[in-house]
Amino acid sequence: MTKLFTIPDHTLRITCGVCNHHSMLEVANLIFVVDEDATAHDVRLRYSCPKCKTKGNNTYEIIPERRDLS
């Protein structure tokens, strides 16, 4: 399981399993809300869809920060 403190510059993309709503959550901000030792899976289980209010029925993807190489 991926601990949040190891990926502070990433984003979690959570997709609701009921209504297919997508949310993008910045990990750096999540660390302030949940314990830094929390895992991405812990966040997934606690997440409540803002559209249909379903809790825990979702999937997540960890998206790395894009860096400008110019």
pTM of the model: 0.85
Which pLDDT score, from 0 to 100, does residue 70 have?
Answer: 55
Name residue, tokens 């809300």.
33
Residues 6+ apart with CB under 8 A from 4: 27, 30, 31, 34, 36, 37, 38, 39, 40, 43
Which pLDDT score, from 0 to 100, does residue 35 have?
Answer: 86
pLDDT tens for the chain, 70 residues: list them.
899 999 999 999 999 999 999 999 999 999 999 988 999 999 999 999 999 999 999 999 999 986 655 5
Distance, in Å, from the CA atom of 52 to the CA atom of 46, rounded to the nearest integer, reads: 15
